[in-house]
Amino acid sequence: MEIIPDWEWVIYGKDLENGKIKLEDPETTCALVREIGTDSAKTITFGVEDIVYIRINKLIAPFYKASYNLNRMQFSKIRDGKWVTTGFELPIPLDREITISGLDPDKRIYLKGTLFKGVLRADHPINRYLRARMVEVPYKRLHPILFENVEIPSTFGKNKKFILRTDGVATPRMEEWDVTNPHYTIVPEKNTKYILNNPIEVLWNHEELPPEGVEFRIWYDGTEDLKVRPRLDHMFLPPSDGKSVWTEEKILVSSSQIKAKTVQNAVSAGYNVKVTVDGGVAFTDLVSGYEKYVPGIFAPGQKVMIAQSGQAEIATITEVVAHSETSADIYLDKVENDYLSGVAKVYAPVYALEGQPIEPADFKVKPSGAQAKVDPATGFVFVDTPDVTSGYVIGYYRHKTRGGKDIFTMAKLPRKYRELEDPHKLTFMFVNVYGDITKTGTFTLYTLAQLYKTVPPEVAEAVRRTWAEAKGFLS
């Protein structure tokens, strides 16, 4: 058997068949996933067969090549340059189908860990251990706690205490604290235990109330106020190196904002590609012989989007050669796809993001079928479809300009706040120490917990027994 301890595998959504895929040579190859990530802004699920192992998105488990965010979803520890098994790894036994849902064709998920090749028997110790661990996952796993885009009410005034409530409501919401009728954020079910040793991270988005104007508190069983009171600018998401923060912007686009010209020639992929468009550029007046400029939307050096149904890309104009007010050639530095005459269009930007993206931006919300792109170098936004109702919601990482680098972590708190099981409950509270507000906003809260449920005795025994047999292969 060959053991590859530094195995990596990138899976595109387009690689999946009905949401499923197998390891290469699955009859003789199995794996233990020790780290996972994705570049999907939408939440995706990862599992094996009919067991869901974990739900992640790029906010909490970014793609491993991303230098903008070190908030990795890592299961094993690394000691002296080697993986150390923690019991939270994701097992892929022989000949099992990996199931992934919610992953768009052009988005990726990566797996990192240990690959075992040439496992010739299903009863090999390593495969028996992986099968036992697979059955154990529903009872013992790392559990992302993620509450996204919770509304901040305009009634969250100065010195008021508002809580993140999840019990008894259809969706999590922020509401004023009532000591006579307490509500809770984390409520363990019976025979379930949460261990909360990781940072609690908050992405706060409000025009009038900055993160440094909000304190965070934790109440235990609705009766005890923890004295540690970090400000939200010390709890920012992602923690990374303290230099980046996730931002979401919503833009409404009217028809009049979309400036585009129709492509008049068939365009093939290549470099310095000529694209003939139907006017609106500089042209040479044939009578005077001098170059004459008319109000237009294209010029050399400008970023544009070329698009047709099903495909779009951003390019840079290198040259403009005008023929008349109604015809001109623009040259694009690089085109990766082919485009149809009379169908494709070239678009000018409709918007510039407020911050400078430090990685590709995502459209979390956009009209069905719309072509939309963001140029990371400039922050220019290109769309081909108006929407003045729901609009476009764009998420991206930008440089953080203020706030401390120290991250509030649960590991420093007394044990009862970190090891939570029925009937005890936690309430996450926010206190406005800044001033009254008139507008609403949103926030996202995240922490990574260990989740334990009562393990059936036969499952626990199978893991214990097979671990003893397989640990020599895993060290």
Structure confidence by residue, pLDDT tens digits, 327-372: 788 999 999 999 999 999 999 999 999 988 888 888 988 999 999 9
Q: What is the mean pLDDT of residues 463-475?
A: 87
Q: Tell me, what's the pLDDT at 360?
A: 83
Q: What is the mean pLDDT of residues 4-25?
A: 95
The verdict on residue 34 lying in a domain is: yes
**Residue 475 pLDDT > 80, yes or no?**
no
**Whether residues 311 and 218 fall in one domain:** no
How many structural domains are present in the chain?
3
Q: Tell me, what's the pLDDT at 52?
A: 95
Domain with 200, as residue range(s), is 154-243+400-439
The verdict on residue 308 lying in a domain is: yes
The verdict on residue 377 lying in a domain is: no
**Whether residues 185 and 282 fall in one domain:** no
pLDDT of 143-197, one tens digit each?
Answer: 999 999 999 999 999 999 999 999 999 999 999 999 999 999 999 999 999 999 9
Determine the Cα–Cα distance for residues 84 and 440; give it in Å rounded to an integer: 46
**Whether residues 100 and 218 fall in one domain:** no
pLDDT of 186-240, one tens digit each?
Answer: 999 999 999 999 999 999 989 999 999 999 999 999 987 788 889 998 888 887 6
Q: Which amino acid is at 318?
A: T
Question: To which residue do tokens 């694209």 refer?
Answer: 275
Percent of residues, the chain, with pLDDT higher than 70: 93
The verdict on residue 447 lying in a domain is: no
**Whether residues 14 and 133 fall in one domain:** yes
Determine the Cα–Cα distance for residues 425 and 429; give it in Å rounded to an integer: 13
The verdict on residue 406 lying in a domain is: yes
**Whether residues 230 and 328 fall in one domain:** no
Burial of 59 (0-12, 13-18, 19+ CB in 10 A): buried
**Whether residues 425 and 462 fall in one domain:** no
The verdict on residue 367 lying in a domain is: no
Burial of 169 (0-12, 13-18, 19+ CB in 10 A): exposed
**Whether residues 116 and 15 fall in one domain:** yes
* Domain CATH for 293: 2.40.30
**Whether residues 135 and 30 fall in one domain:** yes
**Whether residues 32 and 134 fall in one domain:** yes
The verdict on residue 175 lying in a domain is: yes
pLDDT of 103-147, one tens digit each?
Answer: 999 899 999 999 999 999 999 999 999 999 999 999 999 999 999
pLDDT of 382-403, one tens digit each?
Answer: 999 999 999 999 988 888 766 5
Q: Tell me, what's the pLDDT at 285?
A: 54
**Whether residues 69 and 125 fall in one domain:** yes
